[in-house]
Amino acid sequence: MKQPLIAGNWKMNGSRKSAIDLIASILTEAYQFPKIEMAVFPPFVYLSQTEELLTGSGVNWGAQNASPHKNGAYTGEISLEMLKDFNCKYVLVGHSERRRQFGDSPVIVAEKFAAAMRAGFTPVLCVGETEEQHDRGLTWQVIQEQLEVVFELKDNHSSLRDIVIAYEPVWAIGTGKSASPEEAQEVHLAIRNRLGEYDWEIASKIRIIYGGSVTPENIADLMAMPDIDGALVGGASLDAKKFLEIGRKCNSLY
């Protein structure tokens, strides 16, 4: 069975003090959830404190973004090599906020994904449709296109084993309006089936997590779905009590 992943995407929130406090609070209880994996994605500038506090705790961490370039004249960017210095396990790739607000095109997303794989990280590839696409019945077409661009760049699909896919409907992010468990399950299953066309064994093992207004109230129903293997939590991950409650509920289901 796949170990569920409960990941907290902090986005551009907090301060050095609040980041340290949040991690310290998570650590008071996270060790009691052995059946799941928990991870946090703090802003880059708090990765040092994150590494210091989480090393050896069983809670993992990652970066919210990374440059596909090795080094050079890319003002303001952070390379994967730099992230290695902080022992990040994961890198978020293609979050809808990056795609929509920072011009991360499908090609750039694919390059970041490939670079993260090459550098030995586990990329968390985010895909999801906008409200308009959803209402026009284009959900699967959009998701498929987002997956296709990334997988086309990969010549060795066996390396896809070490990835996580996050289905995050754009209309559900930060809106308090989560996709229904059944709706999310349908997309997760379609993603798994698509991966299965490359390799069924890999597809059955890959974790496909859901993101978009996940809360302690809806996590159990989401996790009851056979193809939902965890959650990428935004807003609720900034509140240690809520994040831990999500972890606790998820742990008790397995």
**Alpha-carbon distance values, 166 to 18, 94, 163, 225 (Å):** 26, 10, 10, 15
247 binds ligand PGA (CB under 6 A): no
Report the residue number, 118 or 177, with the smaller CB distance to ligand PGA: 177
38 binds ligand PGA (CB under 6 A): no
| Binding region for ligand PGA (CB under 6 A) out of 61-69, 149-157, 196-204, 210-218 | 210-218
Options 213, 219, 227, 240; binder of ligand PGA; rule CB under 6 A: 213
| Binding region for ligand PGA (CB under 6 A) out of 42-50, 59-67, 129-137, 233-241 | 233-241
Q: Is 168 a catalytic residue?
A: yes
Report the residue number, 225 or 233, with the smaller CB distance to ligand PGA: 233
Angle at 64 between CA 88 and CA 24, to 5 degrees: 65
Helix (H, G, I), strand (E, B) or coil at 189: helix
Q: Give the span between the Cα atoms of 249 and 254, in whole angstroms.
A: 9
**Alpha-carbon distance values, 135 to 3, 12, 138 (Å):** 33, 29, 8
37 binds ligand PGA (CB under 6 A): no
Residues 148-207 that bind ligand PGA (CB under 6 A): 168, 173-174
- Of the candidates 102, 79, 94, the residue with the CA atom closest to the CA atom of residue 232: 94
Report the residue number, 98 or 192, with the smaller CB distance to ligand PGA: 98
42 DSSP 8-state letter: -
The helix (run of H) or strand (run of E) holding residue 147 is helix 139-152
Report the residue number, 139 or 213, with the smaller CB distance to ligand PGA: 213
Ranked by CB distance to ligand PGA, the top (closest) residue is 234
With beta carbons less than 8 A apart as the criterion, state whether 96 and 173 touch.
yes
233 binds ligand PGA (CB under 6 A): yes
With beta carbons less than 8 A apart as the criterion, state whether 98 and 135 touch.
no
Residues of this chain that interact with ligand PGA (CB under 6 A) are 9, 168, 173-174, 211-214, 232-236
By annotation, the residues acting in catalysis are 95, 168
